[in-house]
A and B are shown apart, each in its own frame.
Chain A
Amino acid sequence: MITLQSSDKDVFEIEQSILIQSGTIKNMVEDDFTFIPLPSVDTETLIKIIEYMKKHADKTDSKEKNIKEFDKDFMKKTLNELFALVFAANYLHISSLLELLYPSIADRIKDKITEAIRQIFSIRCDFTPEEERRIIMDNKWAHEGTEIEGTLD
């Protein structure tokens, strides 16, 4: 069993076989660490990461469909939660989770007009009106005919 400690100082005891899905943890285990502090992962995110790894530890064929369903539901999180997961998965080198996260986040940008993207990410438009007009005119076709779609996260 390996002990993980989140940035909030909460500890979790997990089986080694599950944790080796994380490249980072795997390396530390190979160096005989049994207590692994993770100062850049908070408790909430770590709980989710552990949940993911537990589900994916058992990759037999019969569970394949089950896992796909789980993944789909797992991605139904707020953008901030997804970013926190990207961040943690990147640090922990869990490539299968990253491969799941990237398209999910990209999906939140797809088919949205520029203004909607700004709203989602609370980005202030720093173009002058003239600049913005010119940018839109340069590729006018891309800015036409779309509505703000879906709910803002």
Chain B
Amino acid sequence: MCFGVETRVDFVLWLDSDVSLNILMCLNDPADVACDGAVSHLWLRFGFGTLILSRGLRVGCAMETHIDFVQWLKTDVSLDIMSRLNDPADVVRAGAVSRLWRQFVVTNRLSKQLCVGRFQQLSRILRITEPDLNAPEPKDVGSSNSNWEYLKREHEVYASLLQAIESSKSCQNDCIGYAVSASSTDYPDESIVNTLIPMDKYLNSPSYWSSKGHSDRNAPETLIYKLKADLCVITEVCMKPFEAYFQPGKPIYSAKSVRFRLGHRKSLREESDLLKMPQQQPADDKFMWTYTSEEFPMTQEKCLQRFKLPEPVVCVGGYLQILLLGRVQRQEMDDLFYICISHVRVVGLPLGSTFDVKVLEPSQEFVLNYNRDVFGCTLQSFSNRGHQDSNVAPTLSEELVVDAGIMEFFLQNHHPGFELMGWGDDDDDDEEMEEVGIL
């Protein structure tokens, strides 16, 4: 090195770290150590940070104080530590400790990483919005300030979302909104809509969905439902196969096994079409399924069978598909295999009021809209609902004698546009209805 004028060199900048360290190791006064650490960011971070830390720790030990590791450790080491926090509340609380911690937690997107790491389905969320804000996406940012605002919001929303999901584990709400379609239907009054009703008899007529008959026992069927909200946490699906009590031998037309898929509709345009479309037509091509469960064996019993998902799953988009794999029961009359289901129930938690989702085409990614004000109330109600028992659909109970008026109302709410078909002109007793088909 050659200097015309005698200037002093920042040796920490110019010498090897080891050499600088050896020089600085000669400092014995903690005050020197502390002061020198404050000389510049370079002195702090590059190599000298090593010394500061080890000396600082010993000084600290002597004085019984602890270091702020976010300040003193290298970012990737601090990240390794912080990423071990797996409770969203911890991440939020860490983000409130000091300006430095807040910046660390927010800019490193810890809350998003935690949320998406736990629920892969959420990785397709492209950005977060709030109803009354028009924040730009982080990429087309003019100022770093709006980027910070976006990251802050992202931090809060993902933490809240994860908290909502975690709280849902104790909730046992019915998540089915309405029936969309079945891959096949035998007679019009054996519609998929009947599966929304827990009883297998309604107004003296049997209430169930039936597939068309098939000579191949491996021919599958699918049922598609819209859930109550665009964002739902699903913990289990319950299904009750139908026992044809009016046939000799009372055959039970269960499937051999079932599988579940969750996803969203491919195109926004088709939303209204789905409501009008005949439920007897398959609609599988209109959806993109982002989660597929394992296969669950079904037993040939006319009880409500519970298929619990190994982990709660987030359904982004609000649609459920049930795959009915394999048939076990032949109908005596025509020697064909059928599948008949009398009731379907989806258990979990709809997050509709707080979060809603919009699908972007053609990328099939999502925009998550967050209703901040609602969230507080929602969380409160989670803790209140925690101890509620499994519920039947809201307006029905075992003892209730259902009359056409209530049923029509119920069905209208779950499937707009559905009209009650002309069953039940008979004089049979209401009592008979209570006997049969009670869960």
Hey, which bits of chain A sit against chain B, CB under 8 A? Answer: 7, 39-42, 44-45, 78-81, 83-84, 86-87, 90-91, 98, 102-103, 105-107, 109-114, 117-118, 120-127, 132, 135-136, 138-143, 146, 153
Contact = CB atoms under 8 A, between A and B. Distances in A.
A136 B331 CA distance: 64
B336 interface: no
A87 B93 contact: no
A127 B73 contact: no
11 contacts: A41-B54, A80-B66, A102-B84, A106-B81, A106-B85, A121-B68, A123-B68, A138-B156, A141-B163, A142-B89, A142-B159
A61 B82 CA distance: 32
A109 B341 CA distance: 50
B89 A141 contact: yes
A40 B93 contact: no
Contacts of B61: 78, 80-81
B97 A7 contact: no
Contacts of A86: 73, 77, 81
Given A79-B66, A114-B96, A40 B50 contact: yes
B66 A98 contact: no
A99 B179 CA distance: 49
Contacts, number: 129
B68 A40 contact: no
A79 B50 CA distance: 17
Interface string B250-281: 00000000000000000000000000000000
A54 to B, nearest CB: 22
Which DSSP category, helix, strand, loop or mixed, fits chain A's interface?
A: helix
A80 B53 contact: no
A153 B66 contact: yes
A124 B88 CA distance: 23
B163 to A, nearest CB: 6
B101 interface: yes
Given A109-B90, A125-B97, A40 B21 contact: yes
Contacts of A106: 81-82, 84-85
A42 B67 contact: no
**Which 7 A-B residue pairs are closest in the complex by CB-CB distance?**
A106-B84, A142-B92, A142-B89, A40-B50, A114-B96, A139-B92, A103-B84
A126 B99 contact: yes
A56 to B, nearest CB: 19
B137 interface: no
Nearest to B82: A106
Contacts of A105: 69, 81, 84
A126 B98 contact: yes
